[in-house]
Amino acid sequence: MSAGELNTVFQGLGTTVFTVMSGLAVEHEAINLGQGFPDTDGPEEIRAEAARRVVEGPNQYPPMQGVPELRQAVADHDRRFYGLEYDWQSEVVVTSGATEALADCLMALLNPGDEAILIEPFYDCYLPIIEQTGAKVRVISLAPPDWSFTRQDLEAVFSDKTKLIVLNTPMNPAGKIFTRDELALIAEFLERHDAYAVCDEVYEHLTFDGLKHLPLANLPGMRERCLRIGSAGKTFSLTGWKVGYISGPASLMAVIAKAHQFITFTTVPALQYAVALGLNQSDDYYQGLANELERKRDHLRSTLEGIGLPVLPCDGTYFLTADIAKFGFNGSDYDFCKHITANAKVAAVPMSVFYHPETNDAPNSLIRFCFCKKDEVMTEAADRLERFFAKG
């Protein structure tokens, strides 16, 4: 059988940058500030609940849309944090991670010939999933340091074929939280073109400096057009669990549930019960998580600035971006990340991989560091970077 017979989207793809850089980090015994995952597991109470449920059951197929306890907890969470009202029975679906949630939403909404808008830099899984549906991707390209856009930028990509926009806020890799004004502009275009928004809000609770996440669904008229995606991986520092959730209007959720039923059908029941317990944690838990990450961001920022690397603003997420232009490195940002992984023994991720392959002016001197690691690990990473860059 020749490779030509395989799927045209997937056979052409490389391995994700996260997998590549994590592999290199292991190979070179580097501290892995590339792939975004914490090195401490989330609350013991939540993990203990998962363990108890595995032992005591139930361990058979749970309800297709998710166990009632978790769907209720998601609806309660959305009301508590954003004042958004969703009916837990018809407007919430539990998925195996936000990645599956994204696939469910995009497959349920898109037809061949539709257009889907991505805001670049964008998280890696959006593009292949959209391409697999046969829809065409239109790109709004944002530039540092404020990663903002204008009315003209939206006019250039919205058309009568626009079916949806994917909006990731707080945004990976840029660390940006979209402002109310920016959201209002997007809302205006969604109304005008009768389009939807797939809102990737996995970093909703990882926000800093007193800034709060604002879902697009909160803007007037937007609840009916938005699908809100969350992830227990980020909210409870349990990225390996792959438990996600979608909230949205019943008319859309009914079709999204059809996609979900043939992609994974269900998600591990024990983890669902444990995440339900998690979502009901007190405000102290949520604030504590954000405060802790803010402190880690500040630590990494002072390290990078200390070695002369300018950093971009970071309002949320796990990620801080540094500008390496002044080193005049002879190679791409990807080469630079491989270079410091092998030689400084600290891994990072290049910004250019978050751009569409056809974008000509993707940045080549920005690299993303992940800061959700133990203090001693961040201190060791700081020492290694300081030693390496002091050598010139």
- Judged by the rule CB under 6 A, the positions of this chain that interact with ligand GLN are 16, 18, 35-36, 172
Q: Which amino acid is at 269?
A: P
Q: Any idea what the Cα angle at residue 172 is, between residues 288 and 214, rounded to 5°?
A: 60
Among 111-119, 238-246, 360-368, 370-378, the segment contacting ligand PMP (CB under 6 A)? 238-246
x/- letters, 172..191, toward ligand PMP (CB under 6 A) = x-------------------
Could you tell me which of 284, 360, 280, 349 has the C-alpha nearest to residue 321?
Answer: 349
Q: How far is the CB of 18 from ligand GLN (least distance, A)?
A: 3
- The answer to whether the bond into 170 is cis (omega within 30° of 0) is yes
Q: Is 168 helix (H, G, I), strand (E, B) or coil?
A: strand
Does 266 interact with ligand PMP (rule: CB under 6 A)? no
Pairing of the two strands 162-168 and 115-120? parallel
Which residue has the CB atom at the shortest distance from ligand PMP?
Answer: 97
Q: Token pair for residue 309?
A: 């690397």
Selection from ligand GLN, ligand PMP, none that 200 binds (CB < 5 to 8 A by kind) is: ligand PMP
Q: Any idea what the Cα angle at residue 312 is, between residues 309 and 318, rounded to 5°?
A: 105
Among 91-99, 149-157, 182-190, 271-279, the segment contacting ligand PMP (CB under 6 A)? 91-99
Q: In whole angstroms, what is the distance from residue 124 CA to residue 313 CA?
A: 21
Q: Token pair for residue 102?
A: 């994204």
Among 85-93, 134-142, 231-239, 345-353, the segment contacting ligand PMP (CB under 6 A)? 231-239
Alpha helices in 159-282 (DSSP H): 180-192, 232-235, 250-263, 269-279
Does 207 interact with ligand PMP (rule: CB under 6 A)? no
Q: How far is the CB of 96 from ligand PMP (least distance, A)?
A: 8
Q: Which amino acid is at 338?
A: K
Selection from ligand GLN, ligand PMP, none that 98 binds (CB < 5 to 8 A by kind) is: ligand PMP
Q: How far is the CB of 384 from ligand GLN (least distance, A)?
A: 20
Q: Is 157 helix (H, G, I), strand (E, B) or coil?
A: helix
Q: Token pair for residue 35?
A: 């792939």
Q: Which amino acid is at 326?
A: K
Does 239 interact with ligand PMP (rule: CB under 6 A)? yes
Selection from ligand PMP, ligand GLN, none that 365 binds (CB < 5 to 8 A by kind) is: none
Which residue has the CB atom at the shortest distance from ligand GLN?
Answer: 36
What separation in angstroms does the CA of 10 have from each of 7, 125, 129, 293? 6, 11, 9, 35
Does 97 interact with ligand PMP (rule: CB under 6 A)? yes
Does 236 interact with ligand PMP (rule: CB under 6 A)? no
Nearer to ligand GLN, 172 or 247 (CB): 172
Q: Which residues bind ligand PMP (CB under 6 A)?
A: 97-99, 123, 168, 172, 200, 202, 231, 233, 239, 242, 244
